[in-house]
Chain A
Amino acid sequence: MSSFVTRSERAGNIFFRITALIRSGQLQWADRPAWYDVYVAHPPLTPHDWNVQLPKYNEPVKKIFYEEDIVRAQFYKNHRNVGHVSMDKEGDSISQQFINEYQALSKEEPNLPMEEMFAKTEKRLEDVGLYLRRQPKKESTEETKKASTEESNTSGNQ
Chain B
Amino acid sequence: MLIRGVVSTASSVRTFSSLSSLSTGDSPSSSGRAARALEMYMRGVKEHDKMMGREGANFERGKRHLANMMGMEASTMTQNDIDTAIRYLFPSGLSDKKALPILAPPDQVLPRLHKLAFDEEGKPMGARFYTLKPAFYQLLSEVAIRSEKVDRYGGEKKTIKEKNHFQTGGSVWLNEEKMAKKLGEKISTHMYTQLMMAMEHLISLPGSATQNDFIMQWREPIAAGSGNKLFGPPIPPVEIDATTNRRTATAKADVKATYAEVKVSDAGKGEFIVDGMSLDTFQSLQARETLLCPLIVSDLLGRLSITATTKGMGGETAVPRAVRHALSLSIAALYPEKKEVLTLSGLLTRDPRKRERSKVNQPGARAKWIWKRR
Contact = CB atoms under 8 A, between A and B. Distances in A.
Determine whether A and B are in direct contact in the complex, meaning some CB atoms lie less than 8 angstroms apart. yes
Nearest to B23: A37
Interface string B16-33: 011111000011111000
Contacts of B20: 34
Contacts, number: 25
Contacts of B182: none
Interface residues of A, number: 10
B153 to A, nearest CB: 22
Contacts of B75: none
B186 interface: no
B14 A34 contact: no
B95 interface: no
Contact of B26 (A1, A2, A3, A30): A30
Contacts of B14: 1, 3
B19 A30 contact: no
Contact of A34 (B15, B18, B28, B29): B18
Interface in A18-37: 28, 30-34, 37
A33 B18 contact: yes
Contacts of B26: 30
Interface string B43-70: 0000000000000000000000000000
Contact of B15 (A2, A30, A31, A32): A2
Contacts of A2: 15, 17-18
Nearest to B28: A30
Interface in A38-69: none
B11 to A, nearest CB: 11
A31 B17 contact: no
B15 A3 contact: yes
B30 A31 contact: yes
A32 B14 CA distance: 15
Nearest to A28: B29
A3 B20 CA distance: 18
A34 to B, nearest CB: 5
Contacts of A1: 14
10 contacts: A1-B14, A2-B18, A3-B14, A3-B15, A32-B18, A32-B27, A33-B17, A34-B19, A34-B21, A37-B21
Which 4 A/B pairs are nearest by Cβ-Cβ distance? Answer: A30-B27, A33-B18, A34-B19, A34-B21
Given A32-B27, A37-B21, 18 more contacts: A1-B14, A2-B17, A2-B18, A3-B14, A28-B29, A30-B26, A30-B27, A30-B28, A30-B29, A30-B30, A31-B18, A31-B29, A31-B30, A32-B18, A33-B17, A33-B18, A34-B19, A34-B20
